[in-house]
């Protein structure tokens, strides 16, 4: 299969960074294409992002203090005036509206950082000070005040810092999926399972070879996240290195919903971090970030020691948590640029005027609205004609979620399409109608269904809905059940048919 | 579509629910409804194509589908109404419920409800088994559904973690379908299920059984490629240096069942943290008046015959309740699990009333005596956690126990004491 | 003289019973059981280890899998052969539980019957 395709701007990487740049460009009369090696959007760093955006305030100050206590003494920490933080504060102000346009569920989440001893209180004081420098006055809470808001927190807490307004909680894959659906409606081509295998400069632009064909592009945007070095290398413009670290996260059963009402985290402490986040679906998400170094960009293996440590740290904050409540665990790769660990790479490459790097480091998603505009501006500077398109359509409606509909609405939906009345995933109350709709919107795998509908994210982890989802995928895609995959490629779920191994073929 | 007032609503159309509905209808009630979220009645019995069912209830050796058929036919003949593909999505302490199906949402107002949702399996994730996340990991029950109902064989080389009954049954089933079952790995020093299954599933087929071992890692990026297995100490901690890697393309998990009680929780029913199911009394009534429960969602049973009997008791009681009977307020006694007893169901009984008690022991033991309070009720040659013990508390025992009791301890002691 | 061991499945004790078998194949002695029922089981199991065979049979498209069983126990050694036989069967019309699919299958004296509905 070798199609010959042409575009003005080729974005390599369909994570939220690449998709946001595409969205910005789609507002102009520019031909844009996005390619990604994975079988679905957002399957790189996006998928395992924490799902928080914060403006100036506690979370931001906390991460600065964390760096100052966890890095060797004398290491430079963030300058509160640096570009990244300016962009984050700006992006934070825009995110709510953007999420609403894209029908991405989100909510404001308060955060309390709690201290148990004098050293931790001191670090909270530093955080409060940094936050003040950034323009946000945080609220100090005494023990009783903390327990009044979060009654299940460890009673030995001595003090805490509260931030009510500077944190948004959402699901990062919701964002990527919504962006992609809207981009397709706006005429942007997104080619998945398209691994870039070679690149050559040609006539001012590039010829890019992918596993699905050759693409001629005037401009290339490197939004390949932790494969950023590989892409730059192929184009002959690599002048940076990337460092990879990973952190392991746990998801706790929904039966704990209400155990904490907002994010509860440990005050910055050398060697220990712990953040407990209630999620939109009522689970508790534990981040015990240790950011361990790794060379393996594709690492997915979890580690028992990290699981145990995460639970122990979580129990120090909220004693009622138990390892028996864990329903899922996963690791997320994070990227840090070596050139300037504190900044994102949003730049025209010094080695080629039509190659731009858009590699964002954690925390990253909040900066994307201004970052996408910056990349667009840079493209303009490099000669890309930017004429506004009046027919850019910013809105997208998500798949209706029956579990969230009022009875009357739900009844109406079922009357229109009875499949919305047939519940397939019992743990998350997901209907057949939602699954079929997800497939019509691009889901091709069990994982694709999972991220679009939540089917399979519940406590039984596909024990009951698994066979139903495989059957529906097989039916809707017109492929035998033995061809349905978990996450694309060679990840077939069912290897053989009944009797195949004992001489009787079906 | 069924809606409005019904006499008894039974949530779950598996063996417990079928038994409850049958008894409720036999009591003479007009409207008894089973609400089943799957596409057929019988629950897990449909996929249990092996025999061993009904040895006690029917004194016959039946397969799962044969056992289910008897009750499905009876329910049909009695006029029990059935809603298939229907799931209870809302449930309130006043027993009102909203049911979703392709026909729409329907609101039911039962005079009495029986919760018979059965259980789910412990997943790989809930066991925190480290390693990669490839395709090819299934719980044994899900694999059983694929093999016996859907018509697919998950893989060609399988390792099974856990020697519960489902795991051992699948070890045999897969072997017969031409799969190489490389090992059954069990953390305890003895199998988790019935000895009958150890012999007829593992020994009969020379399937390697690795006792006191566990899976410490899964390997393979897109599909399972191998698992690492290590010996464990008495605290189930892997012993460093004992790791062995077994090449395989499939890992089955058979590491325990968990009663499914999301609806019970919504209805405000009190749950027992040890069993994971509702706290019930000798009439199978939960802490919420008019809501009854029986079968595996109350506690994980070992024989479907017992599940049927529990369902029947729940159905009879629900029918009486729908007919106006209220539960006793006086003479309530809390039962406690004493020495070597893991749990006792029911958790509350009424003084003087006949009660069937089901217990499981914590540790295997031989030559034991079971006691209710100080009264010995049964001498048993051998007890194991995997085999439930049932006994009756009747007039004879009450006479010995005397009145004015708030609490009774059930114990399992050596007879030599 | 051979000394096979058989585990009794009569109760949770699971006694491991050792038999002494003479050259003619007769049981000389039997030790390790704790009850008479156990003894009877072990003797029967040694002389004729039989089991009910259960499996599934393929049906024509769209009819699902049909669960089947032998109506009487058969020698456990014949399971593998029986699997190969059932693997080749195809059912093309609806059948009732109890219906005989194969009479006297593999000469065992047992019939292969339908044990569930489709």
Nearest CA in chain C to B197: C9
Task: Tell me the shortest Cα–Cα distance from B239 to chain C, in angstroms.
Answer: 29
Report the CATH fold assignment for A3-46+172-241+339-381.
Answer: FAD/NAD(P)-binding domain (3.50.50)
Q: What is the pLDDT of residue A244?
A: 86
CA atoms lying within 13 Å on the CB side of residue B22: 22
- Counting as contact any 3 or more CB pairs under 8 A, the partners of C are A, B
Q: What is the mean pLDDT of residues C44-58?
A: 94
* Cβ contact B49–C79 (<8 Å): no
Burial zone of A457 (CB within 10 Å; 0-12 exposed, 13-18 middle, 19+ buried)? buried
In chain A, which residues have their Cβ closer than 8 Å to the Cβ of B97? none
Residues C63 and C101 in one domain: yes
Nearest CA in chain B to A412: B104
Q: Tell me: the pLDDT tens digits for C74-113?
A: 999 999 999 999 999 999 888 899 999 999 999 999 999 9
- Counting as contact any 3 or more CB pairs under 8 A, the partners of A are B, C
Nearest CA to C34 among B203, B380, B363?
A: B380
* Cβ contact C64–B65 (<8 Å): no
In chain B, which residues have their Cβ closer than 8 Å to the Cβ of A402? 100
Residue A219, token pair as written in the block: 């401009």
Residues C36 and C82 in one domain: no
Residue B20, token pair as written in the block: 């409850």
* Cβ contact C87–A506 (<8 Å): no
In chain A, which residues have their Cβ closer than 8 Å to the Cβ of B100? 402, 410, 414, 421-423, 431
Task: Tell me the shortest Cα–Cα distance from A470 to chain B, in angstroms.
Answer: 10
Region class of A187: left (phi > 0), else alpha (psi between -120 and 50), else beta? left
Task: Tell me the shortest Cα–Cα distance from B66 to chain C, in angstroms.
Answer: 6
Residue A480, token pair as written in the block: 């035998």
Considering CB atoms only, which of C11, C56, C83 is closest to B49? C56
Radius of gyration of chain B (CA): 22
Per the CB < 8 A criterion, the answer to whether A210 and A35 are in contact is: yes
In chain A, which residues have their Cβ closer than 8 Å to the Cβ of B265? 255
Mutation target among C4, C14, C49 for the B interface, most CBs of B within 10 A: C14
- Counting as contact any 3 or more CB pairs under 8 A, the partners of B are A, C
What gap in Å lies between CA A426 and CA A422, rounded to an integer?
10
Residues C58 and C109 in one domain: yes
Residues C26 and C61 in one domain: no
* Cβ contact B151–C64 (<8 Å): yes
Task: Tell me the shortest Cα–Cα distance from A456 to chain C, in angstroms.
Answer: 25
- Helix, strand or coil for residue B240? coil
Burial zone of A204 (CB within 10 Å; 0-12 exposed, 13-18 middle, 19+ buried)? exposed
Region class of B218: left (phi > 0), else alpha (psi between -120 and 50), else beta? beta
Mutation target among B140, B147, B153 for the A interface, most CBs of A within 10 A: B153
Residues C62 and C33 in one domain: no
Nearest CA in chain A to C65: A498
Label the pairing between strands B389-393 and C100-102.
Answer: unpaired
pLDDT at B376 over 60: yes
In chain C, which residues have their Cβ closer than 8 Å to the Cβ of A475? none
CB pairs under 8 A between A and C: 18
Q: What is the pLDDT of residue C48?
A: 92
Per the CB < 8 A criterion, the answer to whether B30 and B24 are in contact is: no
Give, as one character, the DSSP assignment of residue A258.
T
Give the residue ranges of DSSP H helices in A136-280: 143-149, 172-185, 228-234
Region class of B4: left (phi > 0), else alpha (psi between -120 and 50), else beta? left
Which H or E run includes B106?
A: strand B104-115
CATH architecture group of domain B123-255: 3-Layer(bba) Sandwich (3.50)
In chain B, which residues have their Cβ closer than 8 Å to the Cβ of A418? 102-104
Considering CB atoms only, which of A498, A502, A504 is closest to C65? A498
Q: Tell me: the pLDDT tens digits for B22-47?
A: 999 999 999 999 999 999 999 999 99
A498 Cβ under 8 Å from any chain C Cβ:
yes
pLDDT at B140 over 50: yes
> What's the CATH class of domain B332-414?
mainly beta
At a CB cut-off of 8 Å and minimum separation 6, what does B53 contact? B45, B61, B62, B63, B64, B66, B67, B304, B305
Nearest CA in chain B to C58: B151
* Cβ contact A504–C58 (<8 Å): yes
Q: What is the pLDDT of residue A289?
A: 63
- Compute the Cα dihedral for B286, B288, B293, B297 and give only its sign: negative
In which residue are the tokens 């323009």 written? A135
What gap in Å lies between CA B377 and CA B354, rounded to an integer?
14
Which H or E run includes B152?
A: strand B152-153
Nearest CA to B280 among B24, B28, B86, B16?
A: B16
* Cβ contact A499–C87 (<8 Å): yes
Nearest CA to A9 among A219, A214, A223, A196?
A: A219
CA atoms lying within 13 Å on the CB side of residue B140: 25
Residues C110 and C66 in one domain: yes
Return the percentage of chain B with pLDDT > 70, whole number.
Answer: 100
Considering CB atoms only, which of B66, B176, B204 is closest to C83? B176
* Cβ contact C54–B387 (<8 Å): no
Domain span at residue C104 reads 54-114
At a CB cut-off of 8 Å and minimum separation 6, what does B270 contact? B278, B279, B286, B287
* Cβ contact C9–B381 (<8 Å): no
At a CB cut-off of 8 Å and minimum separation 6, what does A270 contact? A69, A70
C118 Cβ under 8 Å from any chain B Cβ:
no
Q: What is the pLDDT of residue A1?
A: 46
Q: Tell me: the pLDDT tens digits for B99-138?
A: 999 999 999 999 999 999 999 999 998 888 999 999 999 9
* Cβ contact B66–C54 (<8 Å): no
Residues C33 and C60 in one domain: no
Residues C77 and C35 in one domain: no
Mutation target among C55, C56, C57, C58 for the A interface, most CBs of A within 10 A: C58
Label the pairing between strands B213-219 and B226-231.
Answer: antiparallel
In chain C, which residues have their Cβ closer than 8 Å to the Cβ of A467? none
Per the CB < 8 A criterion, the answer to whether A465 and A430 are in contact is: yes
* Cβ contact B105–A414 (<8 Å): yes
Nearest CA to A126 among A90, A78, A54?
A: A78
What CA–CA distances, in Å, run from A66 to A62, A128, A133, A162?
A: 6, 13, 17, 17
Residues C62 and C102 in one domain: yes
- Compute the Cα dihedral for A393, A345, A44, A77 and give only its sign: negative
In chain C, which residues have their Cβ closer than 8 Å to the Cβ of B199? 7, 9
In chain A, which residues have their Cβ closer than 8 Å to the Cβ of B87? 423, 426, 429
Per the CB < 8 A criterion, the answer to whether A13 and A222 are in contact is: yes
CATH architecture group of domain B4-120+258-322: 3-Layer(bba) Sandwich (3.50)
What gap in Å lies between CA A152 and CA A264, rounded to an integer?
11
C79 Cβ under 8 Å from any chain B Cβ:
yes
In chain A, which residues have their Cβ closer than 8 Å to the Cβ of C56? 498
> What's the CATH class of domain A105-168+243-336?
alpha beta
Task: Tell me the shortest Cα–Cα distance from B58 to chain A, in angstroms.
Answer: 30
* Cβ contact A414–B153 (<8 Å): no
Per the CB < 8 A criterion, the answer to whether A430 and A423 are in contact is: yes
Per the CB < 8 A criterion, the answer to whether B8 and B33 are in contact is: yes
Nearest CA in chain C to B200: C51
Q: What is the pLDDT of residue A269?
A: 86
B4-120+258-322 and B332-414: identical CATH topology:
no
Question: Residues in chain A with pLDDT < 50?
Answer: 1
pLDDT at B264 over 60: yes
ipTM tops 0.90: yes
* Cβ contact A298–B123 (<8 Å): no
In which residue are the tokens 């969602």 written? B297
Residues C106 and C58 in one domain: yes
* Cβ contact B51–C12 (<8 Å): no
Q: How many domains, in total, are found in chain C?
A: 2
* Cβ contact B142–A418 (<8 Å): no
What gap in Å lies between CA B6 and CA B25, rounded to an integer?
12
Considering CB atoms only, which of B101, B133, B179 is closest to A501? B179
Which H or E run includes A333?
A: strand A326-337
């Amino acid at each position: 299969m070798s199609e010959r395709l042409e575009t003005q701007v080729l974005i390599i990487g369909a994570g939220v960074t690449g998709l946001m740049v595409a969205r910005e460009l789609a507002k102009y009369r520019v031909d844009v294409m996005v390619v990604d090696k994975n079988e679905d959007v957002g399957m790189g760093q996006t998928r395992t992002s924490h799902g928080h955006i914060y403006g100036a305030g506690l979370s931001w100050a906390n991460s600065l203090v964390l760096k100052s206590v966890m890095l060797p003494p004398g290491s430079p920490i963030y300058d509160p005036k640096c570009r990244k933080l300016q962009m984050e504060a700006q992006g934070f102000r825009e995110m709510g509206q953007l999420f609403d346009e894209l029908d991405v569920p989100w909510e404001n989440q308060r955060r309390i950082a709690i201290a148990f001893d004098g050293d931790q209180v001191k670090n909270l004081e530093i955080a409060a000070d940094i936050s003040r420098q950034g323009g946000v006055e945080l609220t100090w809470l005494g023990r009783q005040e903390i327990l009044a808001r979060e009654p299940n927190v460890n009673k030995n807490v001595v003090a805490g810092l509260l931030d009510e307004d500077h944190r948004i909680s959402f699901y990062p894959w919701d964002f990527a999926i919504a962006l992609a659906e809207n981009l397709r409606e706006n005429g942007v081509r997104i080619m998945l399972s398209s691994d870039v295998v070679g690149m050559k400069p040609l006539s001012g632009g590039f010829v890019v070879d992918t596993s699905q064909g050759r693409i001629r592009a005037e401009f290339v945007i490197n939004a390949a996240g932790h494969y950023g070095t590989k892409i730059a290398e192929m184009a002959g413009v690599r002048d940076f290195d990337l460092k990879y670290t990973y952190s392991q996260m746990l998801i706790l059963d929904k039966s704990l919903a209400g155990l904490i009402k907002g994010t509860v985290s440990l005050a910055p402490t050398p060697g220990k971090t712990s953040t407990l986040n209630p999620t939109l679906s009522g689970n508790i998400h534990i981040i015990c970030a240790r950011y361990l170094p790794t060379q393996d960009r594709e690492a997915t293996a979890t580690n028992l020691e990290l699981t145990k440590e995460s639970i122990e740290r979580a129990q120090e904050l909220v004693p009622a948590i138990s390892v028996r409540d864990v329903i899922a665990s996963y690791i997320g790769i994070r990227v840090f640029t070596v050139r300037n660990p504190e900044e994102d790479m949003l730049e025209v490459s010094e080695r080629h005027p039509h190659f731009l790097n858009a590699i964002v480091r954690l925390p990253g998603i909040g900066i994307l609205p201004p970052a996408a505009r910056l990349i667009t501006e840079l493209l303009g500077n490099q000669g890309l004609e930017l004429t506004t398109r009046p027919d850019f359509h910013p809105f997208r409606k998500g798949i209706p979620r029956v579990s969230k509909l009022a009875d009357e609405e739900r009844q109406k939906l079922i009357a229109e399409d009875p499949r919305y009345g047939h519940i397939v995933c019992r743990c998350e109350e997901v209907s057949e109608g939602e699954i079929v709709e997800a497939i019509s919107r691009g889901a091709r795998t069990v994982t694709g269904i999972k991220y679009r509908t939540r089917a399979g994210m519940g406590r039984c982890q596909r024990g009951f809905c698994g066979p139903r989802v495989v059957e529906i995928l097989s039916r809707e895609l017109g492929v035998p059940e033995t061809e349905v995959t978990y996450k694309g490629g060679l990840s077939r779920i069912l290897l053989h048919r009944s009797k195949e191994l004992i001489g009787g073929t079906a | 579509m069924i809606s409005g007032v019904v006499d008894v609503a039974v949530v779950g159309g598996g063996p417990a629910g079928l038994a409850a509905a049958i008894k409720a209808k036999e009591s003479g009630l007009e409207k008894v409804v089973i609400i089943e979220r799957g596409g057929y009645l019988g629950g897990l019995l449909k996929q249990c194509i092996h025999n061993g069912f009904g040895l006690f209830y029917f004194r016959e050796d039946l397969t799962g589908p044969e056992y289910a058929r008897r009750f499905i036919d009876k329910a049909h003949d009695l006029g029990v109404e059935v809603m298939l593909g229907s799931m209870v999505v809302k449930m309130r302490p006043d027993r009102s419920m909203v049911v979703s199906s392709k026909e729409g949402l329907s609101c039911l107002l039962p005079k009495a409800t029986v919760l018979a949702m059965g259980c789910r399996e412990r997943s790989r994730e809930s066991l925190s088994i480290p390693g990669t996340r490839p395709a090819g990991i299934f719980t044994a029950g899900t694999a059983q559904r694929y093999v016996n109902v859907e018509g697919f064989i998950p893989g060609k080389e399988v390792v099974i973690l856990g020697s519960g009954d489902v795991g051992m049954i699948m070890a045999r089933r897969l072997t017969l379908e031409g799969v190489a079952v490389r090992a059954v790995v069990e953390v305890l020093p003895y199998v988790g299920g019935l000895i009958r299954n150890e012999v007829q599933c593992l020994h009969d087929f020379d399937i390697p059984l690795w006792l006191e071992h566990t899976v410490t890692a899964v390997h393979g990026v897109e599909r399972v490629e191998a698992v690492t297995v290590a010996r464990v100490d008495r605290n189930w901690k892997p012993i460093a240096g004992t790791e062995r890697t077994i090449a395989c393309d499939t890992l089955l998990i058979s590491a325990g069942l968990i009663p499914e009680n999301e609806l019970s929780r919504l209805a405000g029913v009190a749950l027992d943290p040890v069993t994971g199911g509702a706290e019930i009394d000798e009439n199978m009534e939960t802490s919420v008046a008019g809501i009854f429960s029986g079968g595996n969602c109350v506690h994980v049973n070992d024989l479907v015959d017992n599940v049927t009997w529990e369902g029947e008791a729940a159905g009879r009681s629900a029918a009486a309740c729908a007919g106006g009977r209220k539960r006793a307020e006086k003479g309530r006694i809390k039962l406690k699990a004493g020495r070597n007893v893991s749990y006792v169901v029911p958790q509350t009984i009424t003084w003087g009333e006949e009660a069937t008690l089901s217990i499981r022991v914590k540790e295997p033991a031989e030559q034991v005596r079971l006691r209710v309070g100080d009264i010995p009720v049964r001498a048993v040659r051998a007890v194991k956690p995997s085999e439930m013990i049932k006994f009756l508390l009747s007039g004879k025992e009450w006479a010995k126990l005397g009145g004015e009791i708030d609490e009774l301890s059930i114990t399992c002691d050596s007879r030599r004491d | 003289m051979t000394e096979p061991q058989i585990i009794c499945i009569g109760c949770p004790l699971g006694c491991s019973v050792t038999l002494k078998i003479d050259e003619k194949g007769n049981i000389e002695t039997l030790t390790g059981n704790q009850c008479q029922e156990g003894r009877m089981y072990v003797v029967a199991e040694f002389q004729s280890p039989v089991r009910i065979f259960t499996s599934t049979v393929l049906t024509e498209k769209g009819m699902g899998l049909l669960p089947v069983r032998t109506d009487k126990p058969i020698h456990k050694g014949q399971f593998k052969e029986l699997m190969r036989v059932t693997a080749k069967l195809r059912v093309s019309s609806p059948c009732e539980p109890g219906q005989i699919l194969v009479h006297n299958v593999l000469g065992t004296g047992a019939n292969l019957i339908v044990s569930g509905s489709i």
